[in-house]
Structure 1
Amino acid sequence: MKTRRQFIFYTIPAALTLGHTASATAQASHVDENSAAAIALGYKNDASKVDTKKYPVYAAGKNCGSCTLFQGKAGDAWAACGALGGKQVNAKGWCLAWAKKA
């Protein structure tokens, strides 16, 4: 490095990139079925355990993995959910916010 300006020019962007990468790869925690948000949405980690009398809108095949709000790729077991504050939900789960993926 020839000058302080060149040093700053090269190190600051690299440090910012490393910090951004570390926070992006940090995994969100799994949603707790007993949390207030999960209870409000009727979230269950296993859709087969949804109380169909309490939630008549539920139907077999409706699960987090097939929902628009599921932010994972096809085949991911857990991924962040837009309805539950970015917490990770089980692809086999379900909640009232379910909306069919386009």
Structure 2
Amino acid sequence: MKVNRRIFAIQSILGTAGFVAVDVTHAEASMLMESYPQASALGYRTDASKVDSSSFPKYVAGQKCGQCQLFRAREAGAAVGSCAIYPGKLVSAEGWCNAFVKQA
């Protein structure tokens, strides 16, 4: 397919709109609540120090969402970020769940 200025302009506009839509979606994401079924099943806690280690023996003191491979924050040191396990929700960087995978 031959790319001319019109096609280039249209594709550029659509590409930019896609990036804007992703930012808007992230901005509108709501916080994950511990009471949500998936969060409850995985033992999610907004404060990792409150994890019941007898129910979740995988938990090691000091582990937090901010140290997990699945956690994505907009900027380093952010208090909240997104998680691949909970699409469309924001999780606390100080939280923890049983899906924790230590960053390499």
Kindly indicate whether the alpha-carbon contact (under 8 Å) linking 1:69 and 1:83 is maintained by their aligned counterparts in 2.
yes
Aligned equivalent of 1:15: 13
Unaligned residue ranges in structure 1 (runs of 5+):
none
Instruction: Please provide the CA RMSD for this pair.
Output: 1.9
Rounded Cα–Cα distance in structure 2 between residues aligned with 1:70 and 1:86: 13
Identity in percent: 40
Q: For residues 86-101 of structure 1, what are the structure 2 equivalents within 5 Å?
A: 86-101=88-103
Normalised to the residue count of structure 1, the TM-score between the two structures is 0.80
> Which stretch shows the higher mean deviation, 87-96 or 68-77?
68-77
Quick one: which amino acid aligns to residue 56 of structure 1? P
| Number of equivalenced pairs | 97
* 1:1-102 mapped onto 2 (5 Å cutoff): 8-9=6-7, 11-26=9-24, 27=26, 28-72=29-73, 73-102=75-104
Amino acid in the other structure paired with 1:13: Q
Tell me which amino acid in the other structure corresponds to 2:99: A
Unaligned runs of 5+ in 2: none
Give structure 1 regions of 4+ aligned residues with deviation exceeding 4 angstroms: none
Could you tell me which amino acid in structure 2 is paired with residue 93 of structure 1?
A: G
TM-score when scaled to structure 2? Answer: 0.79
**Superposed displacement of residue 78, structure 1:** 0.8
Name the CA distance, whole Å, in 1 between partners of 2:15 and 2:48: 39
- Secondary structure of the corresponding residue to residue 59 of structure 1: coil
- Give the structure with higher Rg (CA): 1
